Chains A and B, each alone.
Chain A
Amino acid sequence: MKGVIDCERHILLTSLDQVTARLDPAWVTRMTESEFRLPPAGPHAGVQVEGAPVVGGTDPAEVAASLDPDDGEVVLIPAQGIVTSGWLNIATATTFVRAVNDHVVAEWLHADPRFRFAIVVAPHDPGQAAAEIRRLGDNPAAAAVCMPLMAINMGQVHYHPIYEAAAELGLPVMVHPGGSEGNVVGPPVLGGVGPRTPEETFSLLPQVAQANLSSLLFDGIFSRFPDLQVIFAGFGFAWAPPVLWRADTEWRGLRVEVPWVADPPSTYAAEHVKLVVDAAAELHPEFSSVAAMLPEGMLLYGSDAPYDDQGVRGRLEGLPPEVAERLLRDNAKSCLRLGSLDRG
């Protein structure tokens, strides 16, 4: 299929030098003479998993060469730039992501005209995050904003400056697991007493997305920011239909509690929310049936390379052509900022 848009392709830094090369001497000193280490590259970057090292995603020319000539845009997301939600030093997190963004712009974008990037931001200080979005938002290759979440639901006022900056620049806000969900203070908690293994963590990650989608809808974020688009990446999609069903059902009876939600919540989701199909784990034999339970147009394709490129694209290309074209290409065009790279 022509023009497939990969909404979530991770790239990796291999050395702390790639970060410190973009920093002033004070921060070079802080990062090299302290116990600071470049976050590991494992899937997802914040979760330690024993096993084979991740291969790929480190060389711009190699990644460019791996693309099919007919492919469309590829959104590069530096995996180590979205692990900061568990960090306690806000200044370090903010400075680190700024350097990572500068590395991506300087070292990756020239390798292929289809390369786009997500501006990664640390969610701790929304003012600083908004400033970073505005600092790089004029770059025509910026297609989205990407961040991990805090233990603050997305409907809360904490994130408003980020939404405001992103919406102002026509950039969707993509949220992605940061790897420390349920493990430390700061990132969102997971149910029960918390998972003990990476497998359990990955299995329960949809809880975070469910809680945050509900929060976005019932806190009226899309009434407050009518131009905002939100993308859930790395959380799968099969968790969403039951949340939307319940949200609509509860809204019918308890509408007076949230009168700013003037229409059934699922109608806001259909207009403002996208979910990235990025994991082989979600490709159950009944995939199509589950996907059909969502409002049309909500699903995007992400390779999740180099982590999870296990035939997801092939499975999606096997869907009926009109469904595959929407999922692999057209839905992304309606959400990502994919303008011409020519300035002016």
Chain B
Amino acid sequence: MSAGATSTAARGRPLVRHYVGTVEEFEPDRFRTFEIEGRPVGVVRTAAGFFACRNRCPHQGADICAGAVSVGTMVPSQPMQYVYSADRCIVACPWHRWEFDLRDGEGIQGITKKRLVTYAVEVDEDGRVAVLMRGRKGAGS
């Protein structure tokens, strides 16, 4: 799926707004994937809003957007007790279940120092969903 784009002035390389559809076209907690400027990008609608990330797990490059999206995960607890915290927005890679926070791309509970690449998402008053990405180097300004 490709996406239409308009450009916005920004520091350094331009921040480009790529429209990927309307709100109604996104099922809750299921990624839709796009190729934007040659990059694989997934966009998901959750109870906490829209999120977008690069569709490549920083671990071994799996299509992470095929993984499960959830509002929380288990947090450190006493042995043999489970405590679920529903204050996040998480994607779990389908290959090795590495979890990343979709808000900032951080690995959960320090599982890795590598980050999932994330992008800002805007929804305008007409319900159009846009992913904001910096243009590629040398791609105009």
The chain A residues found within 8 Å of chain B, CB to CB, are 219-221, 223-224, 251-256, 259-260, 262-264
Contact = CB atoms under 8 A, between A and B. Distances in A.
Interface residues of B, number: 22
B98 A253 contact: yes
A260 B79 CA distance: 5
B109 A260 contact: no
Contacts of A254: 97
A221 to B, nearest CB: 8
Interface string B75-86: 111111111000
Dominant SS among interface residues on chain B: loop
B60 to A, nearest CB: 11
Given A253-B97, A260-B77, 4 more contacts: A219-B80, A252-B112, A260-B79, A262-B109
Q: Which of A219, A223, A252 has most chain B Cβ within 10 Å? A: A252
Nearest to A224: B79
Contacts of B77: 259-260
B15 interface: no
A260 B81 contact: yes
B96 interface: yes
Contact of B96 (A220, A253, A259): A253
Interface in B39-93: 59, 73-83
B76 A220 contact: no
Contacts of B109: 255, 262
A223 B78 contact: yes
A255 B111 contact: yes
Contacts of B97: 253-254, 256
A187 B79 CA distance: 25
Contact of A256 (B74, B96, B107, B110): B74
Given A252-B98, A253-B96, A259 B108 contact: no
B99 interface: yes
Interface string B124-141: 000000000000000000
A252 B96 CA distance: 8
Given A253-B98, A255-B74, A220 B79 contact: yes
Contacts of A260: 76-81
A259 B82 contact: yes
30 contacts: A219-B80, A221-B79, A223-B78, A224-B78, A224-B79, A251-B111, A252-B59, A252-B107, A252-B112, A253-B97, A253-B98, A254-B97, A255-B74, A255-B108, A255-B109, A255-B111, A256-B74, A256-B97, A259-B75, A259-B77, A259-B83, A260-B76, A260-B77, A260-B78, A260-B79, A260-B80, A260-B81, A262-B76, A262-B109, A263-B110
Contacts of A220: 78-80
Nearest to B74: A259
A255 B83 CA distance: 13
Contacts of B73: 256
A224 B81 CA distance: 12
Given A252-B111, A255-B108, A259-B74, A223 B79 contact: yes
The 4 closest A-B pairs by CB, nearest first: A220-B79, A259-B74, A262-B76, A253-B97
Contacts of B79: 219-221, 223-224, 260
A262 to B, nearest CB: 4
A311 B129 CA distance: 72
A259 B112 CA distance: 16
A255 B82 CA distance: 11
B99 A256 contact: yes
B80 A259 contact: no
